Amino acid sequence: MNSSSVFLMNARRIQFLYLLPLLNFLYLLPAPAATPPDTPAVTVIRNATILTVSHGTIEHGSILIKDGKIAEVGASVNAPKDAQVIDAAGLFVIPGIIDCHSHIAAESINEGSVSVSSMVNMAEILNPEDIDIYRDLAGGVTAANILHGSANAIGGQTLVIKLRWGQPATKLPFEGALPGIKFALGENPKRSNFSIPGQPKRYPATRMGVEETIRGAFSEARDYKKAWDDYNKRFAAGEKNLIPPRRDLRLEPLVEVLEGKRYVHSHCYREDEILMLLRVAKEFGFKVRTFQHVLEGYKIADELAAAGVGASTFSDWWAYKVEAYDAIPHNAALMTRRGVVVSINSDDAEEATHLNQEAAKSMKFGGLSHDEALKMVTLNPAMQLGIDKRVGTIDVGKDADLAIYNRDPLSAYAMVQKTLIDGRVYFDRQRDQAERSEREKEKKALVDKFKKAAEKKPEEKKPEEKKPDATAPSGQKPAESKSEQKKSEEKKPQEKPKPPQSSASDSAAADQRGGAL
């Protein structure tokens, strides 16, 4: 290969690299199908039972919303005559539910090829058209912590979003919320329960190796930080002809962790691995913001409380793997009793639709009060994500992110009627029902059109190209039969029983690679 052809190849590659940001930009354009609901300047919710979370329950109360913020809350408010009125007689209003562990609105979940994937960022692959945003909104969820998967000891960068359905991806991020990074301990990063065909066994394969992977990365990050600190210092002192350190996208987010500018959300199950990360954090001088899942948190509740970390757990999942065999539904209550700030999360688009019910279980298992249970999905996750000055309770000055139920939300019979974000009604059950027949008609028209088009050219049989599979490693036997394929699909490490999907999506594959759980 002569030098000019190398140059040409490089030029082509560079051109392609230029195109990438453009493509990203196009992607971020508003989705044409969905338009944001209108926002009246002033809205008043009347006659409601208001569960403020911060200062008790107000019967027959009102909430005045101005410019997306809660302007007044109380037995009566001063609403202007032209305010839009939501009559909530017989209804219950709570702060919008905050899901501290979610994988909705994401094009993919796991960059599972390496053990430290801190260079990737969920913010760059947000999908505002993911229908699960709407479904969770219909379950009263207004904000969610969109996490990378648990395939690696140090995973990708994460962010908090608001579920502003119909808005473009650029409008989803929760403004001002500190970004995060996903860590993962235990079976998933050490790949206990799955392997990828054709890929060699990856380090780490033990909990010992998981610790060393994290220590190694932070050791590098510390040196990298020092190199930059030195450079900046000399630069500030006016030194000339300095060469800056080479930028490292993998270490940058870890430096942010060291500087307290990025939260660590760590997936974990067993108490020993949790204590391990606390030790590592102490060694390198950073904070773990939340432990996610933390199913054995109840065993070391004092240690968690002393470290001041949040715990975000499931209500009652257990026994899907060995590290979930000691999980108990009393986990949330027991940790709460020992002074840990606890939230109940979903890790699943369906589970998120009834987090209010999952929170209620902590009253049965461990005897938390109604207020304490409600905090598990409102104020506590807000505190864990550092957004409690903005959301999590119904107080003057906070964002008007609210969920309205037809009865006490800590009941299995409660149903969301409306969900508001920034004072806008983003979900309205009545409107949803009223629009169904229109949608049906629209769908039928499209299907009929498609059928007609298909009838016009009946014998257009494309030769079925049998493309060699580029991703198949050489020597890898293709799946023998359909039943074989189906069999391996069933091995997805998912906990909840799911109906069969019409097709396996890329994200399902991504889950398999790393396991979101």
Interaction of residue 138 with another protein, rule CB under 8 A:
yes
Minimum Å gap between C-beta 366 and another protein is 7
Interaction of residue 465 with another protein, rule CB under 8 A:
no
Distance CA 332, CA 298 (A): 8
Minimum Å gap between C-beta 455 and another protein is 15
| Three-class DSSP category at 342 | strand
* Nearby residues of 220 by Cβ (< 8 Å), 6 or more positions away: 251, 254
Minimum Å gap between C-beta 423 and another protein is 22
> Which residues from 269-328 bind another protein, rule CB under 8 A?
298-303, 306, 316-322, 324-326, 328
Neighbouring C-alpha atoms within 13 Å toward the C-beta of 515: 26
**Options 140, 329, 381, 409; binder of another protein; rule CB under 8 A:** 329
Interaction of residue 490 with another protein, rule CB under 8 A:
yes
Burial class (CB in 10 A: 0-12, 13-18, 19+), 31: middle
Interaction of residue 142 with another protein, rule CB under 8 A:
no
Residue entry with tokens 């036997």: 477
Cα-based angle 389, 139, 491 (whole degrees, multiple of 5): 110
**Options 6, 8, 29, 131; binder of another protein; rule CB under 8 A:** 131
Q: Considering CB under 8 A, how many residues would be counted as binding another protein?
A: 94
End-to-end CA distance of the chain: 48
Distance CA 258, CA 291 (A): 17
* Nearby residues of 145 by Cβ (< 8 Å), 6 or more positions away: 98, 99, 100, 101, 102, 158, 159, 160, 180, 265, 345, 381, 385
Alpha helices in 3-44 (DSSP H): 3-28
**Options 330, 375, 398, 424; binder of another protein; rule CB under 8 A:** 330
Neighbouring C-alpha atoms within 13 Å toward the C-beta of 329: 14
> Which residues from 105-124 bind another protein, rule CB under 8 A?
none
The nearer residue to another protein, 366 or 423, going by C-beta atoms, is: 366
Interaction of residue 437 with another protein, rule CB under 8 A:
no
> Which residues from 366-395 bind another protein, rule CB under 8 A?
366
Minimum Å gap between C-beta 334 and another protein is 6
The string of DSSP codes covering 109-171 is ----SSSB-TT-BGGGGB-TT-HHHHHHHTTTEEEEEE---SSSSEEEEEEEEE--TTS-GGG
**Options 46, 101, 103, 135; binder of another protein; rule CB under 8 A:** 135
The nearer residue to another protein, 225 or 361, going by C-beta atoms, is: 361
Interaction of residue 501 with another protein, rule CB under 8 A:
yes
Minimum Å gap between C-beta 165 and another protein is 11
Minimum Å gap between C-beta 119 and another protein is 22
> Which residues from 217-276 bind another protein, rule CB under 8 A?
none
**Options 74, 248, 364, 386; binder of another protein; rule CB under 8 A:** 364
Instruction: Find the helix or strand (DSSP H, E) in which 439 lies.
Output: helix 429-456
Minimum Å gap between C-beta 319 and another protein is 5
CB 263 within 8 A of CB 256: no
Instruction: Kindly calculate the radius of gyration of the chain based on its CA atoms and give it in whole angstroms.
Output: 25
The nearer residue to another protein, 55 or 439, going by C-beta atoms, is: 439
**Options 203, 365, 386, 395; binder of another protein; rule CB under 8 A:** 365
Stretch that binds another protein, among 166-174, 177-185, 208-216, 360-368 (CB under 8 A): 360-368
Interaction of residue 20 with another protein, rule CB under 8 A:
no
Minimum Å gap between C-beta 187 and another protein is 7
Interaction of residue 360 with another protein, rule CB under 8 A:
yes
**Options 350, 369, 448, 454; binder of another protein; rule CB under 8 A:** 350
Interaction of residue 410 with another protein, rule CB under 8 A:
yes
Question: Nearest 5°: phi and psi at 13?
Answer: -65, -40
The nearer residue to another protein, 226 or 498, going by C-beta atoms, is: 498
Residue entry with tokens 């009263």: 140
Minimum Å gap between C-beta 456 and another protein is 18
* Nearby residues of 159 by Cβ (< 8 Å), 6 or more positions away: 121, 122, 123, 145, 146, 173, 174, 177, 179, 180
The nearer residue to another protein, 21 or 497, going by C-beta atoms, is: 497
**Options 13, 60, 451, 491; binder of another protein; rule CB under 8 A:** 491
**Options 8, 9, 41, 472; binder of another protein; rule CB under 8 A:** 472
Interaction of residue 354 with another protein, rule CB under 8 A:
yes
CA dihedral in degrees (514, 181, 336, 363; nearest 10)?
-50
> Which residues from 186-215 bind another protein, rule CB under 8 A?
187, 192-198
Interaction of residue 457 with another protein, rule CB under 8 A:
no
Interaction of residue 513 with another protein, rule CB under 8 A:
yes
Task: Please state, in angstroms and as integers, the Cα–Cα distance from residue 478 to each residue in 367, 374, 438, 465, 469, following that order.
Answer: 53, 50, 45, 16, 9
| Three-class DSSP category at 399 | strand
**Options 12, 282, 389, 443; binder of another protein; rule CB under 8 A:** 443
